[in-house]
Chain A
Amino acid sequence: MTDLLLENASVGALSDVSLAVPGGQVVCLSGPSGSGKSRLLRAVADLEPHGGAISLNGADQLDMPAHQWRSRVIMVPADSQWWFDDVGAHFPYKAGENVPEALGFPSEVMAWSVSRLSSGERQRLALWRALALQPQALLLDEPTANLDGEATRAIETWLLEEIRRRQLATLWVAHDPAQIQRVANAHYRIHGARLEPVHGSD
């Protein structure tokens, strides 16, 4: 059973963050902007110096090389980056052959030039790029921020399906209460330096 575990993690103004994300489940994080949601995700990805212990399936973050940890616990930032000219160059070999239909791209998307992608298209492809690397846990920073209502629902459904099927432990930063209601198995809100569980959302 995949399990992403944070024990007394601290980063920036946040301290004593303890939570468990079971495989195949979504834990939502919310809080005012600037409260440190993204920083917490970055700490879980080990991109920022932080305190406390973080582990996946009982394997401690610090017991493996950082890039190995990050290939298991993949973070998708709010503003995804593309550094090659073509879309396909960013994907592992053969991942381009079966782009999920739910993303709404024609099959030749891998040959597209990155410069013609809209921000919403980049965001959807960034999610597929992360999943194509076969992670065991996902850290999503407002994954539907650039999408309209209809696309948001389609992406949510597809993501939840993948998360359940692959048993991914998922930390999902969101600000829309309706979205949290739809996707979260548990919901935590940042109050000052603390992470507090929010009840009543399933």
Chain B
Amino acid sequence: MEVIDLAWWKLGLAALLVLALAATGHLSRLGITRSLLIAAIRTVIQLALIGLVLEALFASSAFYWIALLATIMLLVAGREVVARQSRRLRGWWAFGIGTGAMFVSSFTVTVLALMVVIGPEPWYAPQYAIPLLGMMLGNTMTGVSLALDRLNESVWRQRAVIENRLMLGQTWQKALEDIRREAMRSGMMPSINAMAAAGIVSLPGMMTGQILAGSPPAVAVKYQILVMLIITAGTGFGALMAVSWGGRRLSDERERLRLDRLTKS
């Protein structure tokens, strides 16, 4: 099967649809025209640029360029995790814990999948490494930010309960156990739901893309299963680390509740 390349002017046809929607919105005063157009322009520019970057990267295949792109992706994801928490740790802790957890989990799992499961030559071949890492990071980011947001918010709301439990001689771990469990659940829910609905309610984007690009469905399905499993593992371990480190930072060496280390954005 040959892949049908899309001519740029054909994308213009799709853009016309968005323009028509914008015009309709403007005429009926729905107030979404501006943000719709800006977002549409952003997506075109951002994706065109990353297309250029990936073309260049695939051509050179140098390890340090791939490492550089991976680092940039990680840092942007770390910033996003911070932005998605309504209450967060002061200073660099919010960024450090989120980024650290994502780094350890998604990089480890991605490298493992590349070296052991897929096995391209070399193992960091960009057409495998970059998309895989991108999907891992995107999902781990969601899981880590949901878990940390829930952790901080619950600790803030339930401060009286936590302190009362501490007053009765419970350890910090024990006093926080319900909250930690809730935060973990919150971080894992999207991956668990996605796995449960996959193939029945939704056709996952990666598999759809691969089939559109001409790959036999049987191969696409195997890749999709691989990706969903490692995404879940990566998200889970990422959320686990984030909740554990975040929970520890909310207390001190005397097992006190340290709400002064939280700040509202």
Contact = CB atoms under 8 A, between A and B. Distances in A.
A124 interface: no
A66 interface: yes
A1 to B, nearest CB: 22
A47 B161 contact: no
Contact of B255 (A67, A76, A133): A67
Interface residues of B, number: 19
A49 B252 CA distance: 10
Interface stretch (A5-13, A16-24, A77-85, A169-177): A77-85
B256 A70 contact: no
Contact of A74 (B158, B169, B256): B169
B171 interface: yes
A71 interface: yes
Nearest to B178: A83
B254 A66 contact: yes
Interface centre among B166, B167, B172 (most CB of A within 10 A): B167
Which range holds the interface residue count of chain A? 20 to 34
A29 interface: no
Contacts of A83: 158, 161, 164-165, 178
Interface in B152-190: 158, 160-161, 163-172, 178
Contact of A133 (B168, B171, B257): B168
B255 A130 contact: no
Contacts of B167: 45, 47, 70, 74-77
Interface of A: 45-49, 65-68, 70-72, 74-77, 79-81, 83, 129-130, 133
Name the 6 nearest CB pairs between A and B, nearest first: A71-B169, A81-B164, A66-B255, A66-B254, A75-B167, A81-B161
